[in-house]
Structure 1
Amino acid sequence: MVMKYITRFFCFSGFILALAACGNLEKEITLDLPPYESKLVVECYLEAGQPYTALLTKSAAYFDPFTFESAEEFLQILENDAEVVIRHKGEEIKLQNDLNINPTTAKIFNYYSTELVPADYENDFELEITTKDGRHVTATTRLLPKVPIDSVVVEFDAKNDTLARTLVYFQDDPNTTDYYRRMIHVGSVLNDPEFYFQTGDDFVDDGTVVFGSAFDYAVGDTVINTIFHIDHDYYLFLESIEGAVDANGNPFAQPGVILSNLEGDENALGIFTGFSFDRVVTIIQK
């Protein structure tokens, strides 16, 4: 047994020494990359009772300098002067091209309508985009009903009773395949989320879902738990984005591919989806 561990040690050490010996084997090379063709990027989210909005931008090449440090850089990637139409039950809603921000969510959009999205969970919404240079994009989605949170339980750590976690309980319909996104904010939903993930419901046995957290919260903290009910397209989109981020800069990883429900001759990136959410604000108390 001792010899086995000694052998493993020397094999590992030899591997490290081999890597160190290659430290000077460096050579700069110049690659002639083909010119990058910018793609249309679409984000259009439907929420019952909220105005129709969409953000249309243009993708950039991997090595293009882009820092988001100035408004000018952001304005350069906006896709303006497109015709954006959403159809629902025979009605056509045309979105105006105007840069704006939602003060409640801090989300930026450059197309909008003052009409509100109806709470219709039975009929399709259809998106059609025609850019100023003739590119054409379509997509179809539906709204999903809210899945209410039953309760949020605060539980203090048995080893360190100054820190607590939250447990979120809600019910999953066993007769349907559902997808959820869970987010935790501290202080305000305008802050970056402390924690988030998305999942299907294939792990649920008895219909009750419990999402926990780490023991990260002190007495007086405001913890905001949100459960989004999302569709399969949005779930795949989010998973593919996270996969692409993880692969970025990793020479041993496969290049990330963004999964999208957009169709048309543009090969656009992005998502057109409807969702709903329930949210509970909890102030940590003993």
Structure 2
Amino acid sequence: MYFTESMGMNVGTAIVPTFIPIDSVKYKFNNLTGSNRKAYFLTKWTDPAATTDFYRIMLHKGKPANNSETDADIRDRLFNGQPYAQVTRYRFNPNDTVTATLYHVDTLYFDFRQSIRDARNANGNPFSQPSSIHSTVRGGIGVFTVLVKDQKTLILK
């Protein structure tokens, strides 16, 4: 896909990834009581074998518009063509509402997010390599992308 600003100065490029459904979401509480009772959360999906795929998984407590509890970028290098489960540590409380959002993203968006992370980590560190931002926008810095997502929500009882 190409999109051009009306003055013809900025052009964005994106690939539309296929839809990858979440197979299941589960949780399990530890054996503690009171305020120490916490649950981990597991999100499982099946990666297609024919392609190299990139994902962004986000977990939100409460409404998905709130800040995320988890925001991870994942490459399928170690699980290509197989089921994969992303598991948190014990951090959720009884009666929390947890929403898992799985984005199947293209390599351009994945590289952009990695470059942002690298630049942030290098900022202010005199011993690190400078890091440039990977951009998909000609005439600017940023990323133009298509987000394809699946979402599942559970109330932890």
Flag whether TM exceeds 0.5 (same fold): yes
**5+ residue gaps, structure 1:** 1-124
Task: Name the structure 2 match of 1:169.
Answer: 44
The residue that corresponds to 1:278 in the other structure is 150
Q: Residues 228 and 277 of structure 1 are in contact (CA less than 8 Å); yes or no, is this contact kept in structure 2?
A: yes
Matched, 1:147 2:3: no
**1:157-192: CA deviations, max 9, x gaps?**
256771101111111001111100010111111111
Q: Percent identity?
A: 30
Tell me if the contact between 2:64 and 2:99 (Cα under 8 Å) persists in the aligned partners: yes
User: How much has 1:206 moved relative to structure 2?
Assistant: 5.6
Relative contact order, CA 8 A, sep 6+: which one is greater?
Answer: 2
Amino acid at match of 1:157: N
Check if 1:128 corresponds to 2:1: no
**Normalising by structure 1, what TM-score?**
0.51
Residue-by-residue CA offset, 1:111-143 (whole Å, 9 max, x unaligned): xxxxxxxxxxxxxx2111255xxx722232232
**Secondary structure at the counterpart of residue 225 of structure 1:** strand
Aligned residues: 155
Q: Contact (CA 8 Å) 1:145, 1:275: kept in 2 or not?
A: no
How far off its partner does 1:239 sit? 0.5
Question: Is residue 2:105 matched to residue 1:230?
Answer: yes
Structure 2: gaps spanning 5 or more residues: none
Q: Which residue of 1 aligns with 2:93?
A: 218
Give distance in 1, aligned partners of 2:103 and 2:81.
20
TM-score, structure 2 as length reference: 0.90
Alignment of 1:2-81 (within 5 A): none
Larger Rg: 1
Q: Of residues 43, 51, 64 in structure 2, which corresponds to 1:189? A: 64
Distance of 1:127 and 1:206 partners within structure 2 = 32
**What code does the residue aligned with 1:126 have?**
Y
How much has 1:211 moved relative to structure 2? 0.5
Deviations, residues 4-27 of structure 1 (Å, cap 9, x unaligned): xxxxxxxxxxxxxxxxxxxxxxxx
* Pairwise CA distance, 1:277: 0.5
How many angstroms does 1:205 deviate by?
Answer: 5.4
Q: Could you tell me whether the CA contact under 8 Å between 1:128 and 1:138 is conserved in 2?
A: yes
Q: Which amino acid aligns with 2:2?
A: E
